[in-house]
Amino acid sequence: MSTINDPYASTTDSREGPVFTVTGQDWDTIDASAVEGDHLVINMGPQHPSTHGVLRLVLEIDGETVRDARAGVGYLHTGIEKNMEYRTWTQGVTFCTRMDYVAPFSNEAAYVMAVEKLLGIEAPEKAQAMRVLLLELNRISSHLICIATGGMELGALTVMTCGFRDRELILDLFEMITGLRMNHAFFRPGGVAQDLPEGAIEQLRSTVALLKKRLPEYAALCNANPIFKGRLKGVGHLELAGCLALGLTGPVLRATGYDWDLRKKQPYWGYETYDFDVVTRDEPDAYGRFRVRLDEMWQSLRIVEQATDRLEKMDGQPVMVADKKIAWPSQLSVGADGQGNSAEHIKHIMGESMEALIHHFKIVTEGFRVPAGQAFASIEAPRGEIDCHLVSDGGTRPYRAHFRDPSFVNLQATSVMSEGGMLSDVIVAVASLDPVMGGVDR
Amino acid sequence: MTDEKGNRDARDAGTRTQDASHETRSELLRSDTTQLEVVEIREGAFGAPGTGDTSGFGGLTRPVMMPGASQRPFGGWYDEVADRLAAGPGLGDAIEKVVVDRGEITFYIRRQLLLETVTHLRNDPVLRFEFCSSVSGVHFPHETGRELHVAYHLLSMTHNRRIRLEVATPDGDPHLPSVVSIYPTADWQERETWDMFGIIFDGHPALTRVLMPDDWPGHPQRKDYPLGGIPVEYKGGTVPPPDEWRSYS
């Protein structure tokens, strides 16, 4: 395709110099005499297959060398924080689960932890074990996506197909336990929405067994692969001091050799009782981060196995706090006519107790009140520290909800990781940060 | 209810109900403002004023209060950090008040001394808050002269401690010193707070919008930001904006 006759974007002049539109394979159509030197400012994205969604990178390049890199975000901003101010505390989960859609449970976890802190309650033991189980499965599926898309961007398509194949196994588990593959809204203030369904333990065990067989494939495909190593080694280098200054957490921080993991340092929901190791590596580059993620999946599998063992022994225990002023009144069930409130509950509120009906109506439409004050909760998400800052004015809705999303903060390192490097390494550097734009823009 | 007014627990204040016949609004306000932050006086239970509410709850009047200032000892390492912070160079008056609530400590800092405070918090080896987790704004339109708050959540990885700094600034002069020179990670987070609340961080390297489009008018997360109603096709009606929906006070 020729750039000269492009009816939508013909060559124009700007203050910076002439503007050209090229769409790939047609760089030679640019009139070289119109360009002074090799100095170019190019827009990568927002619609670009290797920017992990709608990320816009403004790159100033000199030949193949990146002189200046700026990231532009906000293309997926949906006002989730503002929307939450007009919904009940329970409905808030439905919103925040959509932020970082690759790791939805982490968003829900940070939010419900902050609400529970404000209420001064603690979820029952079984609910905590289910949360840990889902969070760790989610960590594996999220790291698989990171490795898969990162591989795809290098042209390693086998890594991508393997990654998505194995993530599918975990999404099947999510579907079985929560009813949905993503956007679960499963963690609720006070517990989780539903008990484990029948057959979940067996399914968990068989999936873990299968994953154990398949995870070594990534190591076999990549760890010693000279092309893979050649593309990743030394790219996106950022030492510990840089990570702390720029607020980077998660695998990026642990690849500098610092064992900072909130699951160990500030444990929540019984993480201190699980046996697992924090993975670190003294290679603060894209390759080190890849290896950290790879090893973290194995540690998560260990936690998943332990959580499964515990849940097997907790059959019949409650998954929601006993306080009826907070707990959701009904449970979902699948009947002959589809999914809905359990028939027993409907029978109770419609035929037996007017008070139960009033209670159901009040708690579902009005919600519960949360004492005034503010709370802050942090958990270790697959991408790093996700924090939720909640302010309550004593009402039935959050007065203010703010999320510190790890993707948003980590993405600030784009410039320092890519400037001075090759254009092709920008993609590797961004992929090693593993940003999810839904979380960045919220 | 009046007899236990003096020692009312701050934590329960938000959910406590009171009989309006015993106290007037102004009495309610006056009695507690010294120790508690009154957010609002709420009447009724269903958002319907006067005789429109036939539930019998229409006469309820209750103040909603934020947790008030805490007295020493704060407990645990809180006292050590508070002492060390107040002993910083020129930081004698930096702390307005300290609130310990729900296991978290909040230092309310005077905005003129914010930059000196965070510099000391990061550099002092006993404090060593080397990591700034989060910067976010909160809008309290009823707090005249202190409408806009910014909360800084600092983390000390060395000592494994978290604190919150809260700084208030008037709506008419929404300026705060930028902490980017101390915590480079605050760059985008301050841009987001400017974008959403219109707080100007003086000294920020490039304070531009980050989430909303560059030419967007207004700051969406302020409480006074107008929310649009949605026109309903064919009927000529509108779905009212969310702040006009029925709410339960």
Name which residue leads in pLDDT, A123 or B60: A123
C-alpha torsion angle, residues A415, A420, A425, A430 (rounded to 10):
-10
Between CA A394 and CA A92 the distance in angstroms is 16
Mean pLDDT is highest, among A81-90, A340-349, B140-149, for A81-90
C-beta atoms of A366 and B66 within 8 A: no
Query: β-pairing, B60-66 with B18-19?
Result: antiparallel
Contacts of B212 in chain A (CB under 8 A): 74, 77
C-beta atoms of A389 and B151 within 8 A: yes
Q: pLDDT tens digits, residue range B32-44?
A: 343 446 667 777 6
In a domain, A385, yes or no: yes
Between CA B186 and CA B182 the distance in angstroms is 9
Closest to A208 in 3D by CA, of A79, A118, A300: A300
pLDDT of B16: 38
A322 and A228 share one domain:
yes
Between CA A45 and CA A50 the distance in angstroms is 9
The CATH number of residue A392's host domain is: 1.10.645.10
Contact A129, A293 (CB under 8 A): no
| Structure token digits, residue A233 | 């080694």
Between CA A294 and CA A286 the distance in angstroms is 12
Closest to B83 in 3D by CA, of B126, B133, B128: B126
In a domain, A391, yes or no: yes
Contacts of B137 in chain A (CB under 8 A): 402
Distance of CA A233 to the CA centre of its chain: 25
pLDDT of B17: 38
How far does the CA of residue B1 sit from the closest CA of chain A (Å)? 19
Contacts of A378 in chain B (CB under 8 A): 133, 162
Mean pLDDT is highest, among A165-174, B138-147, B227-236, for A165-174
| Structure token digits, residue A315 | 């059959």
Q: In which domain, by residue range, is A186 found?
A: 80-326+368-402
A265 and A380 share one domain:
yes
In a domain, A427, yes or no: no
Q: Is residue B12 very low, low, confident or very high in pLDDT (cuts 50, 70, 90)? A: very low
Angle of CA points A259, A230, A53, to nearest 5°: 70
In the predicted model, is pLDDT for residue A142 greater than 70?
yes
What percentage of chain A has pLDDT greater than the value 90?
A: 49
HEC string of B119-179 equals HHHHHCCCCCCCEEEEEEEEECCCCCCCCEEEEEEEEECCCCEEEEEEEEECCCCCEEECC
Between CA A382 and CA A261 the distance in angstroms is 11
Q: Report the 10 Å Cβ neighbour count for B77.
A: 16
**Range A105-132 average pLDDT:** 93
Q: Is residue A298 very low, low, confident or very high in pLDDT (cuts 50, 70, 90)? A: very high
**Range A232-237 average pLDDT:** 89
- Sign of the torsion formed by the C-alpha atoms of A174, A179, A185 and A188: negative
In a domain, A58, yes or no: no
A291 and A377 share one domain:
yes
In the predicted model, is pLDDT for residue B14 greater than 80?
no
C-beta atoms of A404 and B136 within 8 A: yes
Q: Is residue A300 very low, low, confident or very high in pLDDT (cuts 50, 70, 90)? A: very high
| Structure token digits, residue A412 | 């600030």
A24 and A111 share one domain:
no
**Range A146-171 average pLDDT:** 89
Name which of A366, A375, A441 is nearest B211 (Cβ-Cβ).
A441
pLDDT of B42: 74
A273 and A395 share one domain:
yes
Contacts of B66 in chain A (CB under 8 A): 372-374
Q: Cα separations (Å) of A110 from A127, A390, A421? A: 15, 10, 36
Summarize chain A as % helix, strand, coil (round to 5). Answer: 50, 15, 40
Between CA A145 and CA A167 the distance in angstroms is 7
In a domain, A128, yes or no: yes
Q: Name residue, tokens 């924080």.
A: A81
In the predicted model, is pLDDT for residue A378 greater than 90?
yes
**Range A352-380 average pLDDT:** 90
Return the half-sphere exposure (C-beta side, CA atoms, 13 A cut-off) of residue A309: 7
What percentage of chain B has pLDDT greater than the value 70?
A: 78
Q: Is residue B3 very low, low, confident or very high in pLDDT (cuts 50, 70, 90)? A: very low
Between CA B222 and CA B197 the distance in angstroms is 5
pLDDT of B91: 83
A25 and A116 share one domain:
no
Contacts of residue A16, defined as CB under 8 A and 6 or more positions apart, other chains included, come to A41
Between CA A397 and CA A420 the distance in angstroms is 48
Between CA B24 and CA B19 the distance in angstroms is 10
Between CA A116 and CA A189 the distance in angstroms is 6
Q: Cα separations (Å) of A149 from A102, A153, A156, A160, A433? A: 12, 6, 9, 6, 12
How far does the CA of residue A310 sit from the closest CA of chain B (Å)? 29
Name which of A260, A373, A385 is nearest B66 (Cβ-Cβ).
A373
The answer to whether B14 contacts chain A (CB < 8 Å) is: yes
C-beta atoms of A74 and B213 within 8 A: yes
pLDDT of B51: 63
In a domain, A423, yes or no: no
Chain mean pLDDT for chain A: 87
Q: Specify the pTM.
A: 0.86
Q: Report the 10 Å Cβ neighbour count for A18.
A: 13
A226 and A317 share one domain:
yes
pLDDT of A5: 46
C-beta atoms of B133 and A404 within 8 A: yes
Contacts of residue A366, defined as CB under 8 A and 6 or more positions apart, other chains included, come to A88, A396, B248
How many CB pairs below 8 A link A and B?
Answer: 134
In chain B, positions 117-136, which contact chain A (CB-CB < 8 Å)? 130-134, 136
Name which of B40, B134, B185 is nearest A389 (Cβ-Cβ).
B134
Contacts of residue B131, defined as CB under 8 A and 6 or more positions apart, other chains included, come to A244, A247, B154, B155, B156, B157, B183, B185
Query: β-pairing, B148-156 with B131-139?
Result: antiparallel
A96 and A225 share one domain:
yes
Between CA A171 and CA A180 the distance in angstroms is 8
In a domain, A252, yes or no: yes
C-beta atoms of A73 and B211 within 8 A: yes
Name which of B104, B138, B220 is nearest A391 (Cβ-Cβ).
B138
Q: Report the 10 Å Cβ neighbour count for A44.
A: 19
A212 and A293 share one domain:
yes
In the predicted model, is pLDDT for residue B232 greater than 50?
yes
In a domain, A332, yes or no: no
Name which residue leads in pLDDT, B14 or A347: A347
Q: How many domains does chain A have?
A: 2
A162 and A262 share one domain:
yes
In the predicted model, is pLDDT for residue A194 greater than 90?
no
What percentage of chain A has pLDDT greater than the value 70?
A: 92
**Range B188-197 average pLDDT:** 93
Contacts of residue A11, defined as CB under 8 A and 6 or more positions apart, other chains included, come to A3, A4, A18, A19, A20, A21, A34
Q: Quick check: helix, strand or coil at residue A19?
A: strand
A299 and A157 share one domain:
yes
Question: CA nearest A83 in B: which residue?
Answer: B242
Whether the bond into B67 is cis, omega within 30 of 0: no
pLDDT of B27: 47
Q: Quick check: helix, strand or coil at residue B98?
A: strand
A18 and A93 share one domain:
no
